[in-house]
Amino acid sequence: MKIVIASDSYKGSLTAKEVADAIEKGLLRYDDEFEIVKVPMADGGEGTVQSLVDATGGEIITLKVKDPLLREVDSFYGILGDGKTAVIEMAAASGLPLLSAEEKNPLIASSYGTGELIKDALDKGCRKFIIGLGGSATNDAGAGMLKALGVELLDGKGKQIPEGGIGLADLESIGIDGLDPRIRESTIKVACDVDNPLYGPEGASHIFGPQKGADKNMVEELDEALVNFAKTVKNTLEIDVGDIKGGGAAGGLGAAMVAFFGADLNKGVEIVIEQTKLKNLMQGADLVITGEGMIDYQTRFGKTPYGVAQTAKKQNIPVIALAGGIGSNAEILYEYGFDSIFSIVDKPMTLDESMENTSELLEKAASRIIRVFMLNQETNDFL
C-alpha cells in the first residue's frame, strides 16, 4: 500500500518534515512494509523555506540584514536542491515578529532587508525566486526593497525619500537604471494569498495597516502615500499598479514585485505543490494524509491541507487530515475533498502540553487512523 504524507508544519512545534516523520512512525507500527512518500508542505507563509528545502534536498542560508527599523538582525532564506532557486519569506527580514508591540509603526517600517535577501541570493547564482509575502510589518510598497536593489526613489529635490510608508508621500520620480541587472535575468514567483489592491477601502493600508500599528489617521496618510506611489509608477513605467489583484499584499510589496520585477502572483500552496511535484508523487497512492496545527472553515481558502486535498481528489485518492485542533465549522471541508478529519489530542490537556508532545501524539493518532482505514479496506476485499 502506498501512502503519501503531505502536511504543513505545526507552527511553534514541528516542521513539516518532522510532522511527516512522526506520522510515518505511526503508520509503520501497523505494517512496516507500507510504501511511505513524505512531502513536506507549506502555503507560502511561515515555514515555506524549511518545507521546500527539506522536500528538495536544499540548504538554509543564514545572514545578517536590516530589520524593519533598519537594525541588524539574523535572517535566512533557502536555496533548493537545484542550486538555482531561492526561497524567501519576506517576514524573515521585514516581518511583524521582528518588532515588539511598541515598535510597530508602518509609517517608518522598511522592507530594505527583503532586498538584501534577494541580493545575496543573486550573488550566490540564483536566478529563480519564490518569495512569500505573509507577515509583513511594512506598508512601503516595497520601497526599501527597491532601494536595496538599486532603484532610486526621489523627492522633488532629487533626494532619496525617507524609509517607510510615509516616505512615499514625497515621491516624485523613479530612477530604474541602477536596478540590479540580474533581476531582469531572473524568474520570480510570488506567493500571495490575498486579492487586496494597493490602495482604497480594501487596500493595504485600510485592511492590514491596523495590525501593523496604524491608527485611523495613519491609515489615511499611508493610503494617500500609496496612491502617490501608484501615480509615480504609472508615469515612469506605464504600469497601473492600482489595478493589480494582490498588489496590496505585504503593504504593497506585491505591486512592486509585479511592476519592477515582472513577477507572477500565485497562491502559495500552488507554488509549493508545483515545486515538490506533489501531483506526480501521488500517482498510484491508496491514501493521502495531510494536516496543520489548526483546521477550521478557513482552511478551504488556500491553506496547505486544502491544496493537498484538491490535488488528491483529481486522482480519486482518499484524504484524511490530522490537526492539533479542529476549529469552527471544519465540517464544511467535507465538501472540499476531505474524507475525514482527526485531532491528535487523545485526552484533556493544555495547549502547551499538546505542543510539547506533538510528535508522540501524531504517531499515536496515525496508528489509530490506519487501523480504521485498513479495516475498511479488508471489509471491501471480503465483500
Task: Tell me how far CA of residue 13 lies from CA of 35, 96, 292, 293, 354, in angstroms.
Answer: 26, 20, 11, 9, 9
If pLDDT is split at 50, 70 and 90, which confidence band does 349 have?
confident
24 within a domain of the structure (yes/no): yes
| Lowest mean pLDDT, pick from 6-10, 20-24, 298-302 | 298-302
Q: Is the predicted pLDDT of residue 343 greater than 90, yes or no?
A: yes
How far apart (Å, rounded) are the C-alpha atoms in residues 272 and 39? Answer: 10
The answer to whether position 271 is within a domain reads: no
In-domain check, residue 272: no
Split at pLDDT 50, 70, 90, the class of 378 is: low
In the three-class reduction of DSSP (H, G, I as helix; E, B as strand; rest coil), residue 231 is classed as helix
Statement to judge: residues 35 and 128 lie in one domain: no
- CATH code assigned at 364: 3.40.50.10350
Domain presence at residue 259 = yes
Residue 110 φ then ψ, to 5°: -120, 150
Co-location of 363 and 289 in the same domain: yes
Length of the chain: 383
Please report the pLDDT score of residue 129 as a whole number.
98
User: Which of 266, 296, 326 is the endpoint of a domain?
Assistant: 266
Does any domain span residue 273?
Answer: no
Q: What CA–CA distance (Å, rounded) separates 353 from 364?
A: 15
Whether 161 contacts 170, CB under 8 Å: yes
Pairwise CA distance, residues 318 & 379, whole Å: 16
Three-state DSSP at 365 gives: helix
Rounded to 5, what percent of the chain is helix, strand, coil? 45, 20, 35
210, 352: one domain = no
Kindly state whether residues 29 and 52 are assigned to the same domain.
Answer: no
Instruction: Check pLDDT > 70 for residue 383.
Output: no
pLDDT, mean of residues 26-37: 96
CA–CA distance, 147 with 163 (Å, rounded to integer): 9
Domain end among 206, 238, 266? 266
Whole domain around residue 239: which residue ranges? 48-266
The model carries a pTM of 0.89
Q: What is the DSSP letter of 83?
A: S
Does residue 274 belong to any structural domain of this protein? no
Predicted confidence band of residue 382 (pLDDT cuts 50, 70, 90): very low
Rounded Cα distance, 144 and 77, in Å = 18
| pLDDT score, position 260 | 96
Give the CATH number of the domain where residue 145 resides: 3.90.1510.10
Residue 154 lies in a domain: yes
Residues 81, 19 share a domain? no
Residue 243: predicted pLDDT = 85
Total domains in the chain come to 2
Question: Are 179 and 90 found together in one domain?
Answer: yes
Residue 276 near residue 5 (C-beta atoms within 8 A): no
| Same structural domain, 148 and 192 | yes
Domain end among 233, 266, 299 = 266
Q: What is the pLDDT of residues 101-141, one digit of tens each?
A: 999 999 999 999 999 999 999 999 999 999 999 889 999 99
Predicted local distance difference test score (pLDDT) of residue 351: 86
- Give the pLDDT band of residue 381 (cuts 50, 70, 90): low
pLDDT band at 197 (very low <50, low <70, confident <90, very high): very high
- Are residue 6 and residue 144 in the same domain, yes or no? no
CA distances from 97 to 9, 86, 174, 253, 312 (A): 18, 22, 31, 18, 34
42-93 pLDDT tens trace: 988 888 999 999 999 999 999 999 999 999 999 999 999 999 999 999 999 9
250 pLDDT higher than 50: yes
Distance CA 232, CA 126 (A): 30
Same domain? For 17 and 88 the reply is no
As a whole number of angstroms, the distance between CA 217 and CA 81 comes to: 47
**Cβ–Cβ under 8 Å, residues 245 and 197:** yes
- Are 10 and 69 found together in one domain? no
The set of residues, in sequence order, having a beta carbon less than 8 Å from that of 84 and lying 6+ positions away, is 125, 126, 127, 128
Tell me, yes or no, whether 28 and 62 share the same domain: no
C-alpha cell at position 327: 476549529
Mean pLDDT of the chain: 94
Please report whether residue 104 resides in a domain: yes
Q: What is the CA radius of gyration of the chain?
A: 22
| Same structural domain, 305 and 245 | no
pLDDT in tens, 198-248: 999 999 999 999 999 999 999 999 999 999 999 999 999 999 999 899 999
Task: Indicate if the pLDDT at residue 261 is higher than 90.
Answer: yes
